[in-house]
Chains A and B, each alone.
Chain A
Amino acid sequence: MAVYSSITELIGNTPIIDVSHLSPNPDVRILAKLEGQNPAGSVKDRIALAMIEAAEASGELVPGRTIIEPSSGNTGIALAMLAGLRGYKIKIVLPENVTPERRQVLEAFGAEIISSPGAEGSNGAVRMAQALSEANPEWVFLYQYGNEANPTAHYETTGPEILADVPDITHFVAGLGTSGTLMGVGTYLKEAKPEVKLFAVEPPSGERVEGLRSLDDGYVPPVFDKWGGLDLLDGKRIVRPAESIEWTRRLITDCGIFAGLSSGAALAGAVKVAARHDAAVDGPAVIVFVVCDGAWKYLSTGAYTSPLADVVENLGDTIYF
C-alpha cells in the first residue's frame, strides 16, 4: 500500500461491486459504484475538489477567503473538509430539516452553518445563498448547480472509471440532484458508447415542500440545461420513500453495503429498468448505479431500523437526497 501525503489523493477511483443477485431479470446484471468510499463520505468529494481547484486556478479563491455554498449535506461536508485543509473559511446554507448528523459533520470539519427555512427545502437554501453572496461580494460562491467544474469532474473522473471497469455497460442510473453526476458521466458514456441509456431518479420532494409560493419557485439547475438535460436522458422517474428505504435495506442485508437513502432510490430505478429489459430483443444488459454515500448521516431518521410505515410518515419532513 502506498502512503499518501494528503487525504485529497484518496478522492475518486471508487470500487464497483456486482449486486446482480438483486436483479429481477437473469439477463440483466446490476453493478453498484460505491461513492461513499470517498474520504468525506460521498460522491460530492469529486465536485468539491474540482470546484475549489477551478476557483484557485482562476485566482478567485486564495487562503483566508470565505466560501459560501447551499447544500443539503454532502457537498457542504466535502467542501468543509477541503476548506479546512487549504485555509479557507466556509459557510454552508443548510435547510433546517436535514438530519442532525449532517449538521454535526459540517461543524466537526469547521464549517459555519447558516440555517434556511425547512419549509422551503433545498430551493430555499439556494435562494438564501444567492442573496447572501450578492450582499457579500468578497465571499466566494461556488454554486454547484451552475458550476461547470461539477459535471466536468464527473466527465473527467467518474465516467472514465465506470467505462474502464465496466466496458460492457448498457445503462447508467443515478439521482438527479444538481444533475452533475448524470450530465457529466452521461455525456462521457454517450460519447464513448452512444447506445448507453441514462436514467434519472428523484425523490418526490416537491410534493411536500410547503414553502413554494408557486410552481415558478421550482428549480432546474443551470448545469442540467447547459449539458443537454432532457435531451441527454432516456428516462426519469420518482422513487417514493417506502421504495427507497426497502431497497436501501436490501443493499445492507443482502450485499453488506451500508448505503444512504438515495442509493436505495437509485437501486429501485435500476431494478425497474432491469425488470422491463427484454434480452430477446436488446441482448443482455449491464446497469451501473451510484451509491452516493453511506448510511451514517441518516441513522437518526429511523429509516434503517424502525417499522417501515413509521419511517415513511416521518421522512415526509426530512430532506434525504
Chain B
Amino acid sequence: MSITVRLPTVLRPQANGQSTVKVEGSNVGEVVNSLVAAYPGLQSNLLDDSGSVRKFVNIYINDEDIRFLDKLQTPVSEGDEVAILPAVAGG
C-alpha cells in the first residue's frame, strides 16, 4: 500500500530535499521502516536505540497523533497521509 509521508523542513536534506515521499506499509511502523530503508539518514532522527519514536518527534496519521491511536501499530490504508513533525513551543 502506498502511503504519503510529509517531512518537516529539518528532515528534507536526508530525503533528497523532498517534502513528501511515497512509501509502502500497512501500519505506521512499517511506513517508518520503509522510510528509513529508503533514506537511511532519517533513522537516527526518528527512532531511538530501542526502536521507539523519539521524544521530540510527533507522528500523525491524517493529522492525529499516533501516540493516542495504536502508536507504531496504527494501521494505515491507501490514501492516508503520515506527517512527521518536531515538537514546537507555543505561547
Task: Please report A residues at the B interface, Cβ cutoff 8 Å.
Answer: 44, 70-72, 74-75, 121-123, 125-126, 144-145, 175-178, 180, 202-210, 212-221, 230, 233-240, 321
> Which A residues are CB-close (under 8 A) to B57?
215, 218
Expressed in whole angstroms, the minimum distance between the Cβ of A184 and any Cβ of chain B is 13
> Across the interface, do B10 and A235 meet the contact criterion of CB distance under 8 Å?
no
Q: How far is the CB of B5 from the nearest CB of chain A, in Å?
A: 12
B87 pairs with A219, CB closer than 8 A: yes
Q: Which among B8, B65, B67, B91 is the interface contact of A74 at CB below 8 angstroms?
A: B91
Contact A218-B56, Cβ < 8 Å, known A122-B88, A206-B86 = yes
Question: Interface majority SS on B: helix, strand, loop or mixed?
Answer: mixed
| A122/B45 contact (C-beta < 8 A), A215-B10, A236-B68, A237-B64 known | no
Residues of B within 8 A of A (CB): 6, 8-11, 45-46, 54-58, 60, 63-65, 67-68, 83, 85-91
Which of the residues A144, A176, A203, A210 comes within 8 Å of B9, measured between beta carbons? A210
Query: Across the interface, do B91 and A144 meet the contact criterion of CB distance under 8 Å?
Result: yes
Contact status A126-B85, CB under 8 Å: no
Q: A207-B9, A212-B10 are in contact. Are A219 and B89 (CB under 8 A)?
A: yes
Tell me whether B65 and A237 are in contact (CB under 8 A).
yes
A218 surroundings in chain B (CB, below 8 A): 55-57, 86-88
B85 touches A178 (CB 8 A): no
Do A209 and B88 touch across chains, with their CB atoms under 8 A apart? yes
With a cutoff of 8 Å between Cβ atoms, the chain B residues found around residue A144 in the complex are 91
Residues of A within 8 A of B9 (CB): 207-210, 212
Q: Please, how many angstroms separate the alpha-carbon atoms of A212 and B9 in the complex? A: 8
A122: chain B residues within 8 A (beta carbon): 88-91
Nearest Cβ distance between residue A148 and chain B, in whole angstroms?
15
Once the chains bind, are A230 and B86 in contact (CB under 8 Å)?
Answer: no
